Structure 1
Amino acid sequence: MQDFCHFQKVVIKVGSALIAPEGRGSSVRYLLSLADFVHHCLQQGKDVVIVSSGSVAAGSGLTNHHLAQKLSIPQKQALASIGQTHLMQHWQKLFDNHCAQILLTRSDLESLQRRANAKNTINTLLSMQAIPIINENDSVVVDELVVGDNDNLAAQVAEMCNADLLIICSDVEGLFDKNPKTHDKAQLIPLVEKIEDSHFAIAGATDNPIATGGMQTKLQAAKFASDAGIDTLIVNGRNVETFERLKRNQTTGTWFKSQINKESHNG
């Protein structure tokens, strides 16, 4: 059992597999229990930041462009531009609190001034009881500015805003000792004290056509976060029981322990 009570600032990454389970458009099918969990966190006085995928999938659902097609970069950027407003409307209808959109590129995170500006904006929004919804700025980003996936973006956002917990929600239960799709006897690894090369060796890339990451990127994000003093959870966001267990301080998914003492990190 983990003591969820002492975590005060939580970054939750929500993947396309939850937002667009059919591969296009947006759906609340897997978001209602997550939204209830966010309400639970807010009622406990915690700060919550959401890093959300799904703008391109949302845009494809509003047009006749399917993601299975071979799309040019301008087409994907246009779909992201169309879908981003729809995605924000999608999130807003799940919460009573105001939702606020923040779009970032890698250069925003690498520039000390722009990074500080983003951090100040996030903290000010939280002080206003708003929920920051962060995504990569897919409508304008080019290769040299791309973060690449929202797992690593979420980890960088968590480090930037001094979060103490990162929750990566996807359609997988967590990290297994073997690929569970090809090994019936694969076992979930509930706790990782420290991420080693052996963990990366058993992690595979995604086979989801609308996702940009896989377990490899989730491990990269978890390592970045844990090295920065942030505990990380990889959980199955499609499972309603995931969030019920978290509300009861019960372990779910795979927990990656922070490598830095929280008191010294937050001080």
Structure 2
Amino acid sequence: MTPAIARARRLVVKIGSALLVDRATGLRADWLRGLAEDVAAMKARKADVVLVSSGSIALGRAVLGLPDGALTLEQSQAAAAVGQIRLARAYEEVLAPHGITTAQILVTLEDTEDRRRYLNSRATLQTLLGLGAVPIVNENDTVATDEIRFGDNDRLAAQIAVTVGADQLVLLSDVDGFYSANPKQDATARRFDLIEDITPEIEAMAGDPVSGLSKGGMKTKLLAARTAVRGGCSMAITEGSVLRPLRALEDGAPCTWFLAQGDPQVARKRWIAAMKEKGMIRIDAGAEAALRQGRSLLPAGVVAVSGSFGRGDPVAILGAGGDALGKGLARYTAAEAQAIAGRRSAEIEAVLGYPGRAALVHRDDMVL
């Protein structure tokens, strides 16, 4: 079945700088207010929404009076530092009248590649969504250098979609979908309404960014689609300059949907199951029963810990009889887990000397 934005349970929307900022006039306030109406409509349907937004450098360079053309790394980071404040304030001002609380999340590529940082980011985002807030996510351009950059917010948006378990991702772009060739150069180019499998033929149509033949950044969008669909998230590319872009998509605006490969939760469980464990946690009969009921693993139910693992590392979970129950991502190091084994969650701070998370392995990070 072709995805429909009206059915989204958790939606991530990527917004490019060109949609948000006009170089001559600055922030496109009317467009941003229209987007806020779309977000409010999605929230009214009980859908969670995350916005991945560019625009901080574009806003900041104007304020600082930086010249047109390429900026040095230091100039870009200075512009981002100034512009990010204005970007966050702009979103807060348009969403607040709808009763929507906004939050700012700044990340780098390292934050998603390092498991400890990944789990921290995931926990923060999940908590914000659970509280009804709309996170505004952007790359942390003030500190990111080339070796720790996503490089584009298409890839960042796909990674965020997988991190929060979104079922739909929408890339608001300057093109209305994925074409067989560059439609500006080839009158016979056709747009795909639905792509169920990213084949080598589809990849070839995206062009080669190294040679400069990429069609409007389509290569990066295809990389984003691959990440999203493997994580159980369908992705749409659609033209975003209209005043109500999400409503336009819902009303049938031209687009290309990339079909998800399964459910976000199933995809995440499959990812965890494929990891090689770095330690073992043995639990008692009560904790085993709780896990089978879909609950998290608390320190109180742990009877033994072995191996050498850090926060975010995969660990095997054994039942009271020593049989393998499953696998999960630890929220504590091996040493910390040994120290709090058998303790109630309220005792963790007293034992470790600092506060910690209630669960040793959260149910969302566990597969049985």
| Compared CA separation, residues 263 and 252, structure 1 to 2 (3 A) | farther
For the pair 1:157 / 2:160, whether they are aligned, the reply is yes
The alignment partner of 1:94 has SS state of: helix
The alignment partner of 1:166 has SS state of: strand
Partners of 2:122 and 2:163 within 8 A in 1: yes
Q: Residues of 2 paired with 1:109 and 1:262: CA distance?
A: 17
Q: Residues of 2 paired with 1:134 and 1:119: CA distance?
A: 12
Q: In the TM superposition, what is the alpha-carbon distance from 1:262 to its structure 2 partner? A: 5.6
For the pair 1:148 / 2:160, whether they are aligned, the reply is no
Q: For this pair of structures, how many residues does the alignment match?
A: 259
1:83 maps to what in 2? 83
Q: In the TM superposition, what is the alpha-carbon distance from 1:261 to its structure 2 partner? A: 4.5
Q: Residues of 2 paired with 1:245 and 1:142: CA distance?
A: 36
- What amino acid maps onto 2:88 in structure 1? M
RMSD: 2.2
Q: Residues of 2 paired with 1:260 and 1:23: CA distance?
A: 44
Q: Deviations over 1:6-57 (max 9, x none)?
A: 4211111101121123378422243333222111110000000010011110
From 232, 252, 255, the equivalent of 1:253 is: 255
- What amino acid maps onto 2:94 in structure 1? L
User: Does 145-154 or 238-247 show the bigger shift?
Assistant: 238-247
From 124, 138, 147, the equivalent of 2:127 is: 124
| Compared CA separation, residues 225 and 201, structure 1 to 2 (3 A) | same
Q: Residues of 2 paired with 1:166 and 1:46: CA distance?
A: 13
Counterparts of 1:35-74 in structure 2, within 5 Å, are 35-68=36-69, 70-74=70-74
Q: Residues of 1 paired with 2:223 and 2:246: CA distance?
A: 23
Q: Residues of 2 paired with 1:187 and 1:115: CA distance?
A: 39
- What amino acid maps onto 2:20 in structure 1? I
Counterparts of 1:8-19 in structure 2, within 5 Å, are 8-19=9-20
Higher relative contact order (CA 8 A, sep 6+): 1
The alignment partner of 2:29 has SS state of: coil
Q: TM-score, normalised by structure 1?
A: 0.89
Q: In the TM superposition, what is the alpha-carbon distance from 1:3 to its structure 2 partner? A: 3.9
Q: Residues of 2 paired with 1:257 and 1:24: CA distance?
A: 38
Partners of 1:151 and 1:221 within 8 A in 2: yes
From 80, 98, 102, the equivalent of 2:101 is: 98
| Compared CA separation, residues 7 and 244, structure 1 to 2 (3 A) | closer
The alignment partner of 1:135 has SS state of: strand
- When Rg is computed on C-alpha atoms for both structures, the one with the higher figure is 2
Q: Deviations over 1:121-141 (max 9, x none)?
A: 111111222110000100011
Q: TM-score, normalised by structure 2?
A: 0.65
**Which structure 2 segments of 5+ residues have no match?**
210-215, 270-368
For the pair 1:227 / 2:224, whether they are aligned, the reply is no
| Compared CA separation, residues 24 and 162, structure 1 to 2 (3 A) | farther
Partners of 1:25 and 1:59 within 8 A in 2: no
| Compared CA separation, residues 67 and 116, structure 1 to 2 (3 A) | farther
Q: Residues of 2 paired with 1:251 and 1:266: CA distance?
A: 31
Q: In the TM superposition, what is the alpha-carbon distance from 1:63 to its structure 2 partner? A: 1.7
Residue identity over aligned pairs, in percent, reads 37
The alignment partner of 2:95 has SS state of: coil
